[in-house]
Amino acid sequence: MRFLLRFASLVALVVAVIAGTIDSIQSVAASAVVLTPMGDAWKDVSPSSLTTVQSLISYYIHPRLYNLAVQWLLFQPAFAVFLVISLLLWMIAYKKPPVAGRFSV
């Protein structure tokens, strides 16, 4: 399980780096800071999954949760969202080293 969480963290980190690179290239081309919101990036990749997730959250959890939390999340920069996801997955998968050292039982 720890391996899968670390792998998912790596994938989220790679996506964050790609999104940051795309934003930096667009910023240089436009001579202004360009940050792609998570909703726009998700819409560009798969618009049908975005509408599916929106309807599932509104139907099964609560419409107010979608209005408050999910819409706020969709307006954040895509690279920052994926960096936070990567960090959270890495923190869940982290194994604290033993206090006594490497060769202790």
Q: What are the structural domain ranges in the chain?
A: 1-36+78-94, 37-76
Q: Which residues of 43-76 are buried (b: 16+ CB within 10 A; e: fewer)?
A: eeeeeeebeeebeebeeeeeeeebeeebeeebee
- Residue 105's pLDDT is 59
| 3-class SS string, 27-69 | HHHHCCCCCCEHHHHHHHHCHHHHHHHHHHHHHHHCHHHHHHH
- Residue 88's pLDDT is 96
Average pLDDT over residues 18-22: 95
Say whether pLDDT at 10 is over 80.
Answer: yes
Average pLDDT over residues 88-98: 88
Say whether pLDDT at 91 is over 90.
Answer: yes
Q: State the chain's mean pLDDT as an integer.
A: 89
Phi, psi at residue 100, to the nearest 5°?
Answer: -75, -15
pLDDT tens-digit map of 33-55: 999 999 999 999 998 998 898 88
pLDDT over 70, % of the chain? 95
